[in-house]
Amino acid sequence: MGALIWLASYPKSGNTWMRSFLHNLFRNSHQPVNINEIDDFCLGGSVAQWYRRYTSTPLREMSDEETARYRMQVQRDFTTVFPDSVFVKTHNYLGERNGVPLHNMEVTAGAIYIVRNPLDVVLSMMPHYDISLEEAIIALANEDAGTVRTESHAPEVYGSWSTNVRTWTRTPSPGLLVVRYEDMLDKPRKTFKQVATFLGVRPSPDRLERAIRFSSFKVLKAQEEKAGFKERPKVSRNFFREGKRDQWREKLTPDQVRQIISVHHEQMERFGYIPHDYRDAVPAPSAASA
């Protein structure tokens, strides 16, 4: 029986990329792993089949309280899938819902949290959820943001971008690795080697380079175009869109940039996401906090 390693992030922050890298790293194949087999390697934390072990009530008909009642045991069941570490994807913030933790820390060994500049996150949210830019900016700040209950998935609770980031990263721990999406792009060799080292893996340079190459945006996008990707939302034309950084410079107005910074400046400051030319958008400290 293994222990859980959470692959956590706010949506559209690089979680699928990280899962693909790890899948390719551990499989160590000489061709890219099929992206539609990614859930064979990394479990989805909200998949309904795990809840069906404990109740005949369809997931769609269950209340939040009922879901919470089974969540801790469902996550304990995850540990039986592999004899060693069990990777589990989550977009939930690190906290409680209905008085029950969203993550069972008793069976958790650690977590990798991926953080991405919210100025770019909103641009990826638009086509993914088929919403406007203004709707994406509002959703980014919504403390009740999450997914709705469906027949196949239990609801997830994201919280706002700031809450998601803060709850996962505020307490340093040897069992936690925080990775910036931008470093995955700009310094892939250094960043992904750090991920491997955190997991106790010492890959050869060739194996590391191959895993990075096989999980590149170009490869993932080509796979989706050829065979589709089952995690793509029905409202979205494609899951893998552009995979770039700093697109906000061309696509957000100064007012939109300032709006996002004014709400999320504390966590943006921590991760170096406030542009020098927008420092004036950071609210002045209040007298109470001074």
For the stretch 65-106, pLDDT in tens is: 888 889 999 999 999 999 889 999 999 999 998 889 999 999
In this prediction, residues 185-198 reach a mean pLDDT of: 97
> What is the share, in percent, of the chain residues with pLDDT greater than 70?
93
Protein fold of 4-117+143-236 = Rossmann fold (3.40.50)
Q: Where are the domains of the chain?
A: 4-117+143-236
Count of other CB atoms within 10 angstroms of residue 186 = 11
Choose among 96, 111, 34: nearest CA to 64: 96
CA dihedral 75, 73, 144, 123 (to 10 degrees): 20
Report if pTM > 0.75.
yes
Give the span between the Cα atoms of 274 and 119, in whole angstroms.
9
Q: Over the stretch 215-239, which tens digit does the pLDDT of each residue have?
A: 988 888 888 777 677 556 555 565 6
Count of other CB atoms within 10 angstroms of residue 171 = 8
C-alpha dist (Å) from residue 274 to 184, 247, 271, 278? 19, 14, 8, 7
